[in-house]
């Protein structure tokens, strides 16, 4: 059962991302040569899938995607487009703990310990968000920060 705070946060997420357009099937992941690779499987799963239809559990169970790493395979525009689904599903810490932890790390401020590659990824992947989206992302980040161990 969803409490009133979580329900209000979900509504705010949906409103903030209502205008974000799908990036196009060719801008979801940078496909490698190997069509059996994880990025290729992720791209096939997300092809023509709206963020409203994204199901984290199907992605992991059906396509064998690493639940702690798939966010990092997305192109910046795809990361931004699917963000509302990630935010909403991460709010249920019992159902999607791996997603919640990965998203929390991806949204955390960059530290020296992250290294240049992680810092660059965060910079590139957090750049596409507008001010309204950033505000709701920050709210979910703080929500997760208070609840994750």
Rounded to 10°, the helix 97-107/131-147 angle is: 120
| C-alpha closest to that of 77 among 125, 37, 135 | 125
- Retrieve residue 139's tokens: 């709210």
Q: Domain segments of the chain: what residues?
A: 4-147
pLDDT in tens, the chain (149 residues): 578 989 999 999 999 999 999 999 888 997 655 556 888 888 888 987 899 999 999 988 888 888 888 999 999 999 999 999 999 999 999 999 999 999 999 999 988 888 999 999 999 999 999 999 999 999 999 999 999 97
What is d(CA 88, CA 99) in angstroms, rounded to the nearest whole number? Answer: 10
pTM of the full structure: 0.92
């Amino acid at each position: 059962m969803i409490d009133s705070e979580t329900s209000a946060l979900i509504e705010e997420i949906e409103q903030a991302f209502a205008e974000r357009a799908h990036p196009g099937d060719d801008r979801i992941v940078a496909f490698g040569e190997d069509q059996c690779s994880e990025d290729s499987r992720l791209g096939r799963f997300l092809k023509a899938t709206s963020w409203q239809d994204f199901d984290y559990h199907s992605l992991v169970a059906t396509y064998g995607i690493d639940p702690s790493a798939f966010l990092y395979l997305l192109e910046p525009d795809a990361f931004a487009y699917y963000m509302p689904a990630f935010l909403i599903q991460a709010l249920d810490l019992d159902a999607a703990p791996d997603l919640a932890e990965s998203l929390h790390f991806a949204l955390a401020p960059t530290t020296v310990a992250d290294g240049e590659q992680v810092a660059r990824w965060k910079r590139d992947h957090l750049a596409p968000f507008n001010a309204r989206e950033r505000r709701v992302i920050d709210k979910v980040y703080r929500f997760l920060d208070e609840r994750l161990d």
